[in-house]
Structure 1
Amino acid sequence: MEFAKIVEQAKKYQPEMTRFLRDMLAIPSESCQEEKVVLRIKQEMEKVGFDEVKIDPMGNVLGRIGHGPHVIAMDAHIDTVGVGNMANWEFDPYKGFEDDEVIGGRGASDQEGGMASMVYAGKIIKDLGLEGEYTLWVVGSVQEEDCDGLCWQYIINEDKLVPEFVVITEPTDGKIYRGQRGRMEIQVKTQGVSCHGSAPERGDNAIYKMAPILEELRALHENLLDHPFLGKGTLTVSEIFHTSPSRCAVADSCWISIDRRLTAGETWEYAIQQIKNLPSVKAAKAEVTMYQYDRPAYTGLVYPTECYFPTWLIEDGHPVCGTLEEAYAELFKKKPEVDKWTFSTNGVSIMGRYGIPCIGFGPGHEDQAHAPNEKTWKKELVDCAAMYAAIPLLYVKKYADKMPKNTQNLV
C-alpha cells in the first residue's frame, strides 16, 4: 500500500470535506431531529461512489464499500447538542465560519467532522483501488447525545450488522484512543407526608430526608475505585426535584439524579448497591433505581433501554490497536500517542455491551464538545480521511488473522 499517495489524495479533498462539513453544520440536528442532515449525508455518500447507501428504521444512515468477508465499521454520531446561551457565541453556530486552519459551528468537533472525513475516505479507497477482502460500513448514527450507544444496540440487534471491529470517530486530539469510563443515570427518591407549612411537625419532610443522603453521596465519590489507565470512578448529583401541594406546605417527595462514571471493574449492580448500602438511604427507606430512556427517534421508532452505558477498554497490543498504530506511523512518519476519552461514546454498546472491539481516532478536540464557539481543524479532517482510507486494507493484510477467536461472531 502506498501510504504517501493516500495522504496526497486526502489533501486533495480538503476543499470538498470542508464544504461538506459546513453543509452539515448549517443544518440544525439535535438528537431526535436529525432527518435533514441524514439526507444530506446520504446524498454525499452517493455522490462519491459508495456501493450502497441506506437509512434504517431508526434513522441511522449506513454506507457500504466493498463486499469482502471481513466486516469493518466506522461510526460518527451526527446529532448535536443545542447551542445554549447565544450570548456566549462569537459567531452564528449554524452559519459557522472558516479560515485557513479551522471550521467553526455546532457539531464541528462533536462530531460531524468525523463524518466528513469518513465519506471522503470512501472516495480515496475508490480512487486508489484500496478495496480488498473486506466490507466497510460507514455509519452516521442518531440519538447519541441523548442516549449514547442506543443507535448501535439497534444496528447490532435489528440491522444485524456485527463488524469485527469499529473505529469511533469522536474527537481524539490527534491521538488514538482505546477506551473510556462507562456511565449510568441513577435516581434516588425519598417519600414524605405533606402538611401546612405553619405546622411542619404534623408532616414528614421528604427534602430533609434527602439532606444526609447528599452528604453521604459526596463522601462516597471520594472512595470510588481507580484504574491505572481509565482513571477513577466518579459520582455527582446533577439534579434535584420535589413535589409539594404549595410553597406553604411540607414536601411530600424528593428525588435526585446522579451522574455516575464507572471505571474498569464497576458494574451497574455494584454502583446501585453502593448507594443502597448508605446508612442514610436505609434510614430514609429511599428508592434507588436506574433511569430508562424511551424517547422516539425522528422516524417515530421507540427503542427503549436502561440508562446504563458500560465501560470499555481494548488492551494495548490488540490487533486493532496495532492496525491503527501502524497506519498512523506509515502515513505521518511518527509514533502516535495512545490515550482514552474523558467523555462517553457509542463504544459503550459496541464493546461495552457486545464485546466488539472499538478504537478511536477522530478530528477535533474533546474540549470543543458542547462548548460555545466550537471548531475543528482542517488538517485533522485530512489526517483522519487518510487514516480511515488506510485502515481496512492494512487490517485484512496484516492483522485480521491475529484477532482473538472470541471476537468473531460475538452476537
Structure 2
Amino acid sequence: MTIDFKKVMEKAEEYKPQISAFLRDMIAIPSESCDEKKVVLRIKQEMEAVGFDRVEIDPMGNILGYIGTGKHLIAMDAHIDTVGIGNPENWEHDPYKGYEDEQIIYGRGGSDQEGGMASMVYAGKIIKDLGLDNDYTLLVTGTVQEEDCDGLCWQYIIEESKIRPEFVVSTEPTSLGIYRGQRGRMEILVSVDGISSHGSAPERGDNAIFKMAPILMELKQLHLRLKDDPFLGKGSLTVSEIFYTSPSRCAVADGCSISIDRRLTLGETWENALEEIRKLPSVKKAKGKVTMYDYKKPSYTGLTYPTECYFPCWVLDEDHAACKTLVESFKSLFKEDPVVDKWTFSTNGVSIMGRYGIPCIGFGPGAENQAHAPNEITWKKELVKAAAMYAVIPWLYIDKYTRRQNHGV
C-alpha cells in the first residue's frame, strides 16, 4: 500500500468545519490547570464519535485515545489545560466565547494548545476513513497540569501506567515547523532572614529586604555569564516573584524571598544552577538559602503526584527516524521543505525525552507568540495541515524506518 497524499489533504480540508467547531467547544470550556475535567469529557465525546478504538481517562485525569492494535506504539500529545485570561480589559472579545472567520479562531487555548488536540482527533478520523492503518498503535494523549508543571503528566504515564512509546510527537505550537528540542528550566527559591524592629528605629533591626537588594543585582549579572549553546541558545534567569514578612508597615522586614525562573541550555545541570547562586558573594554574605521548589498540587481527580520543579532540556538528532519521518511527511504533503528548529518555551518533552530518553519531536498548529497572550488566535489552515500530517506520520514511520530496518534495507 502507498499513501495518496492528495486524498489525505482533501479529507483534512473536508473536516475543517468539524475541526473548527470542536476547537471552539474546547475554548468555550475554561480549563486551567487542575480544573480540566469538563474539557476532558468533551474530548472523550469527540474521540468516540470519530471512531477511536479505545478511550480511557487515567487516575491523574489524562485522556488516552487509541487507534489500531499494531506492535509499534507511537504517541501524539497535547496538553489540554490553559493559563488564565489575565486582565479581561486586555481582550478585545470574550476569551471563551471567542469568534471565528474564514482564516482564524479566537480564544484562550486556540494556539496553546487545544488546537493540537483538535487536529489530532481528526487525524484519527482520516486514518480510519482512508485505511491508513499499519503495524502501529497510535496513542493520542490529552494531558493535564502542563501549565502548572510541564511533564508531570508524562512522569505519571511512564512511571505508573508503564507506557513507553517508540517516539512522541508534541503538538505544541510550532507554526507548522518541526521542532527537535528546547531548553530546560527550573524554579528556584532564594530566602534571606532579618530581624524586625520598629520602623522608627531601623538600626535596631536587620532589614531582610535590604539584604536581598545586592543579591538581585548580582543575579542580573549572573544571567549575562550563563552558558550558551549553538542550537538551543543561551541559559537564562530572571527574578519572577518577590515576597517578604514583616510585623507591619511600621516595622523592619524580617524575611525576604524571591523566585527565579532559570532556563537551562545543553550542558547545564540543576546542581550547578543552584551552586552558581549559592556562590554569589551577596548570597554568602546574607547567608541566603537557595533551594528548588517542589510541586504537589492535586489534579482535578484529587490525585497528588509530587515532583521537584526541575525540567531537563533535550535535543533530538536530525538523523533520528522520528525527525526524518516528520520531514518526509511534510515534504510529501506540502511539496516544500519544512523549517526545522526548536522551541523557546518548555513542553512535556522535558519528561518524555529529558527525563526518560523517549524520542520526542514537535509539530503543531498555532504560534509560540500567541501562548499566554491576550487576544490569542490560531489559523484554520494550520489546523487542517496539522491533521493531515498527524494522519500520515505513523504509516510513514512504519513503512520507512521499521520494516526496512527489519529487512536490512
Q: TM-score higher than 0.5 here? A: yes
Alignment of 1:154 onto 2:156: yes
Which portions of structure 1, spanning 4 or more consecutive aligned residues, are displaced by more than 4 angstroms?
A: none
Aligned equivalent of 2:247: 245
2:238 equivalent among 236, 259, 269: 236
Aligned equivalent of 1:297: 299
Provide Cα deviations, 1:203-240, integer angstroms capped at 9, x if missing partner: 11111111111111000000000011110000101111
Q: Is the 8 A contact 1:322 1:399 kept in 2?
A: no
C-alpha distance in structure 2 between counterparts of 1:215 and 1:85, whole Å: 30
1:109 equivalent among 108, 111, 115: 111
Aligned equivalent of 2:201: 199
Amino acid at match of 2:337: K
1:77 equivalent among 76, 79, 84: 79
C-alpha distance in structure 2 between counterparts of 1:245 and 1:86, whole Å: 34
Provide Cα deviations, 1:162-201, integer angstroms capped at 9, x if missing partner: 1010000011012111111111000000011111111112
2:219 equivalent among 217, 220, 223: 217
1:78 Cα deviation (Å)? 0.4
Alignment of 1:286 onto 2:284: no
* Alpha carbons of structure 1 residues 401 and 201: separation in structure 2 relative to 1, 3 Å: farther
SS of equivalent to 1:121: helix
Amino acid at match of 2:340: V
Provide Cα deviations, 1:112-162, integer angstroms capped at 9, x if missing partner: 000000000000001111111111100000011111111110111111111
SS of equivalent to 1:153: helix
C-alpha distance in structure 1 between counterparts of 2:214 and 2:42, whole Å: 52
Aligned residues: 403
Q: Is the 8 A contact 1:9 1:124 kept in 2?
A: yes
SS of equivalent to 1:330: helix
1:87 Cα deviation (Å)? 1.1
Aligned equivalent of 1:331: 333
1:333 Cα deviation (Å)? 0.6
C-alpha distance in structure 2 between counterparts of 1:400 and 1:195, whole Å: 71
Q: How does 1:118-137 map onto structure 2 within 5 Å?
A: 118-137=120-139
Provide Cα deviations, 1:64-113, integer angstroms capped at 9, x if missing partner: 00111111100000001111111111111111100001011100000000
**RMSD over aligned Cα, in angstroms?**
1.0
**TM-score normalised by structure 2 residue count:** 0.97
Percent of paired sites with the same residue:
72
Which segment is superposed worse, 392-401 or 359-368?
A: 392-401
C-alpha distance in structure 2 between counterparts of 1:218 and 1:98, whole Å: 43
C-alpha distance in structure 2 between counterparts of 1:116 and 1:402, whole Å: 32
Q: Is the 8 A contact 1:319 1:402 kept in 2?
A: no
1:402 Cα deviation (Å)? 8.2
1:363 equivalent among 365, 370, 379: 365
Amino acid at match of 2:312: P
Which segment is superposed worse, 104-113 or 245-254?
A: 245-254
Q: How does 1:17-36 map onto structure 2 within 5 Å?
A: 17-36=19-38
**TM-score normalised by structure 1 residue count:** 0.97
C-alpha distance in structure 2 between counterparts of 1:326 and 1:46, whole Å: 30
Alignment of 1:164 onto 2:185: no
Aligned equivalent of 2:344: 342
Amino acid at match of 2:315: L
C-alpha distance in structure 1 between counterparts of 2:231 and 2:300, whole Å: 37
C-alpha distance in structure 2 between counterparts of 1:402 and 1:282, whole Å: 59
Q: Is the 8 A contact 1:110 1:171 kept in 2?
A: yes
1:265 Cα deviation (Å)? 0.6
1:10 Cα deviation (Å)? 0.7
1:400 Cα deviation (Å)? 3.2
1:401 Cα deviation (Å)? 6.3
C-alpha distance in structure 2 between counterparts of 1:391 and 1:159, whole Å: 24
Amino acid at match of 2:133: E
